[in-house]
Structure 1
Amino acid sequence: MATSREGDRFHYRGLVIGVDIGGSKVAAGVVTPGGRILARTRAETPHRSKSPKTVEDTIAAVVAELRRSYPVRAVGVGAAGFVDDQRATVLFAPHLSWRAEPLREALRSRLQLPIVVENDANAAAWAEVRVGAGRGAADSVVVNLGTGIGGAVVIGGELYRGRHGIAGEFGHMTVVPGGLRCECGNRGCWEQYASGNAVTREARELAAADSPVARGLLNAVAGNPSLITGGLVSELAREGDLACVELLEEAGDWLGLGLANLAAAFDPELFVIGGGVSESGELLLEPARRAFRRTLTGRGYRPEPGVVAAELGNEAGLIGAADLARDALPRWRQGRRQRRIGTPPRRRGRLR
């Protein structure tokens, strides 16, 4: 990137590394205050049977790689799981092996940088609100469709985290009592019907049944249903494969049902739909809007929230995590000054 020396100084004063930990990858990037990513790297997420330290090793490695080229001030980590209200401990991660894992302290001692740990969906939502599809909407709900379903609520321009820091776990709302088993331990969770995993499962079952309508899917994977992915379903749907179009419509129906429930609870101005499945675009979103309108409480007699696609794609999580860590820097500086002069810190308000 060709910039002036003055421009470089401006960027470097605000550079933060954002890390996004999903069920299958660790992605990291150096992010400017305006949300621009200057450098990226990624690594495979270790299998859940491995120790939490192995995941921490992966995070430390990608951060170290980026720090070799950029002077950064802090690290924000978006973790796929429940994060406590201090943004320090991962209480529970359904797709990883963390249980009450003190991730902030573990990384801070290794990296010697200020660390913020946030739920990955909260981080992605914050990015969309600040610099993406939700900018300008004071009250919005962001739903991320990936391996599972994450989400976040922004009220009055502030990220709402709940009393214990774990609001927004929409994917684990029960939509089918006694339904499909979820990795969280319950049955009938929303993410079992509208996530990327759900689309993949349904497509594989259709292909394994050797249904004539699945011929395009089977041809694409040389007759091996286990090779079918949600991305492949989206690709074939865009090419006009009717079975794949129907699979996305079915997921869209479930998505719309869940959005109607969220509208009844939060009455937002806008829904922003992100995550890998959302890359299917209108093939998913239009069925979702139809189902949403059919199910919305008070339909026809209330303002209807918009339903739009996210703009930042897979980079939203790391952009948002970086921005949240940058926002926290003044409070860290205040805390250090107070400790240095021996005065007790003021009671800290809730971070955004």
Structure 2
Amino acid sequence: MMLLIESGILCLLWGTNGLVFDAEKGESMANTNGKLDKFIMKRLNQRLVFSIILRGGSVSRQQIAAQSRMSQMSVGRIIEELEKLGIVAEENGGEPEAGPGRRAKRLRISSSAFLCVGVEMHRDGVNVGIINLHGRVLRQIQHQKDLSACPPGDAIALIGTLVGRILAENADLPVEPFVGIACPGLIEDGVIRFSSQLKWKNVEILPALQKQTGIRNIFIENEVKARAVAEDLFGAGRDYERSIVLSIGSGVGSAAVFRHELYRGKLNMAGEIGHICVSPGGNMCECGRRGCLQTYIADWAILREARTVREDITMQGLLEANANGELWVINLMNRVLEYVSIAISILANTYAPDVIILCGRLTEEYGMLRDLILKNYKREISDYVLSSFDLKASDFDSDGTLVGAGTLAAYRLLDEIL
């Protein structure tokens, strides 16, 4: 939709639904060339105004009219509707306009509207949080548990218990809450088709959770794709049209966002970079194949190699030994950095992004490793490619994926209203 390119977020979170809009002519039509009815047009315009305010953070009606190409009267009417819903609020004060003494009233998304629940599943446990429309975690519960060592039913029961607990402790949530879940692995149609980290195959998590919690509105997404949503809206990808997230932790994955639209590929498989074979006949992977990228840079793979020399070494100890100049560690870390550079090169050459964003447990919890990557990532990348993109570390700490999960749930909720 031409209309959506300006604000982007509508493509990402609502999709185009087969609609085409010509911003120059002010006409909208379906793919069948039939004109849209007034109700659909109203919803599209509400969503557009909402997205402009969300991306702008704090904007005036005049700015919204300029970006949306709607009249100020139309914008004013939509703002009034969004204010009645409690989604949009005016800020105190404002910025001077053209006339002397006049100040523009600025608008922002209400921080207390449409709170949702985000759930992050990872190999070592579950995080559950309350997320607002500014991408902030208002409350969080963390539970450590090796999910790969327990049956899916036990893990699902744990998630249901934690969701029930956080709902009981927060009275500001909607009467019928919306819950977004971010999970490692291949997610298709709400089913965890395969997760090498969790060792799960074809797990239908949603019906079990809906039955346990009594919550109808539960949604699930791949963890790196959920993280890409958070980075695009609130993080290091906010100012770029084409961004790639590279997550390195207990697994390796990526996700692409183009003009603020998440690229999924067939069967939601886009971005499964961790299982690209980079060394035929190389290290054994959890997926049962050899030479996968993650067998060289995931945390467990690095430690598996290091512990052939020192059985009790930790990741922090490994990084300190590297800083202290221990030769065997330097050799190991050089190989890790080489394969990280290969991963970045694959993404840069395949997608030609404006920015590649580093995230995941290894870069978030170990600043020494993050700094090593930022210093050495150019090793396997051609000069002509290096000049085409920025490499940045995520602005989030460890809660970016949780924010992405909660944000996806929030927009499912908004979809029923706007």
| Contact kept? 2:111, 2:134, Cα under 8 Å | no
Query: Which structure ranks higher in relative contact order (CA pairs < 8 Å, sequence separation ≥ 6)?
Result: 1
| Contact kept? 2:192, 2:203, Cα under 8 Å | yes
Match of 2:360 in 1: 275
Match of 2:271 in 1: 168
Report how far residue 187 of structure 1 moved. 0.7
What is the SS of the residue equivalent to 2:266?
coil
What is the SS of the residue equivalent to 2:267?
coil
| Contact kept? 2:115, 2:132, Cα under 8 Å | yes
AA matched with 1:312 = F
Give me the TM-score of the superposition, normalised by structure 2: 0.67
AA matched with 1:77 = I
Match of 1:50 in 2: 150
| Contact kept? 1:82, 1:119, Cα under 8 Å | yes
Aligned residue among 298, 303, 306 for 2:387 = 303
Matched, 1:181 2:284: yes
Aligned residue among 192, 195, 201 for 1:99 = 201
AA matched with 1:228 = I
Cα gap change, 1:275 to 1:287, in 2 (>3 Å): closer
* Mapped partners of 2:346, 2:247: distance in 1: 16
Larger Rg, first or second structure (1 or 2):
2
Match of 2:80 in 1: none
Match of 1:229 in 2: 314
| Contact kept? 2:244, 2:357, Cα under 8 Å | yes
Aligned residue among 179, 188, 191 for 1:75 = 179
Aligned residue among 299, 324, 349 for 1:196 = 299
Match of 1:345 in 2: none
* Mapped partners of 1:23, 1:202: distance in 2: 20
| Contact kept? 1:174, 1:189, Cα under 8 Å | yes
AA matched with 2:256 = V
Match of 2:162 in 1: 62
* Mapped partners of 1:47, 1:174: distance in 2: 26
CA RMSD of aligned residues (A): 2.5
Report how far residue 241 of structure 1 moved. 2.4
Cα gap change, 1:277 to 1:249, in 2 (>3 Å): farther
Q: Which runs of 5+ in 2 are unaligned?
A: 1-85, 90-108
What is the SS of the residue equivalent to 2:226?
helix
Report how far residue 269 of structure 1 moved. 0.7
Matched, 1:293 2:293: no
Matched, 1:315 2:399: yes
Following superposition of structure 1 onto structure 2, how do residues 20-39 of structure 1 map, counting pairs within 5 Å?
Answer: 20-39=120-139
* Mapped partners of 1:263, 1:196: distance in 2: 23
Pairs aligned (count): 304
Report how far residue 45 of structure 1 moved. 3.1
Report how far residue 105 of structure 1 moved. 2.4
What is the SS of the residue equivalent to 1:242?
coil
| Contact kept? 2:123, 2:146, Cα under 8 Å | no
| Contact kept? 1:252, 1:284, Cα under 8 Å | no
Report how far residue 329 of structure 1 moved. 2.0
* Mapped partners of 2:367, 2:191: distance in 1: 35
Report how far residue 202 of structure 1 moved. 2.6
* Mapped partners of 2:369, 2:325: distance in 1: 11
| Contact kept? 1:75, 1:114, Cα under 8 Å | yes
Match of 1:157 in 2: 260
Matched, 1:116 2:219: yes
- Partner deviation per Cα, 1:148-207 (whole Å, 9 max, x = no partner): 112211111111111211211111111111111100111101111112122212321232
Cα gap change, 1:302 to 1:55, in 2 (>3 Å): closer
Give me the TM-score of the superposition, normalised by structure 1: 0.79
Cα gap change, 1:33 to 1:268, in 2 (>3 Å): same
| Contact kept? 1:275, 1:313, Cα under 8 Å | no
| Contact kept? 1:52, 1:97, Cα under 8 Å | no
Report how far residue 35 of structure 1 moved. 1.2
* Mapped partners of 2:392, 2:265: distance in 1: 25
Report how far residue 97 of structure 1 moved. 4.0
